[in-house]
Amino acid sequence: MPPCAFHALTGFWCPGCGMTRALHALIHGDVLLAFHMNPLGMLMLPALPAMLFWSWGWQPRVLQPVMRWLMDPRVWLAVIPAYWLLRNLPWAPFSWMAPPG
């Protein structure tokens, strides 16, 4: 798999580091390895189609509380930088968010 240019230049993991390897592991049925490569990416993978359909107008009432939260850009302006920071901390449990290697 190609290395992350940001990680190669800085030594820090970006929020997307490990996502290609995670998707590769997921396609080959290794869910645990995929989660280990990029936990946030794997947690958000099922939400992405729901967010897309929600923006296209499919808005079931049962999903409204969750989608209101997921579709709020302020949530992502907090979650992604926090994930980026936490996965670069050198001690457990935060170091577990960094992909191996």
| Residue 55 confidence (pLDDT) | 94
Token digits of residue 7 = 């990680």
| Residue 4 confidence (pLDDT) | 86
Q: List, for residues 17-54, the tens digit of each pLDDT value.
A: 999 999 999 999 999 999 999 999 999 999 999 999 99
| Separation between Cα atoms, residue 32 and residue 36, nearest integer Å | 6
Q: List, for residues 43-98, the tens digit of each pLDDT value.
A: 999 999 999 999 999 999 999 999 999 999 999 999 999 999 999 999 999 999 99
| Separation between Cα atoms, residue 4 and residue 16, nearest integer Å | 9
Task: Please state the pTM of the whole predicted model.
Answer: 0.84
Do residues 42 and 30 touch, judged by C-beta distance below 8 A? no
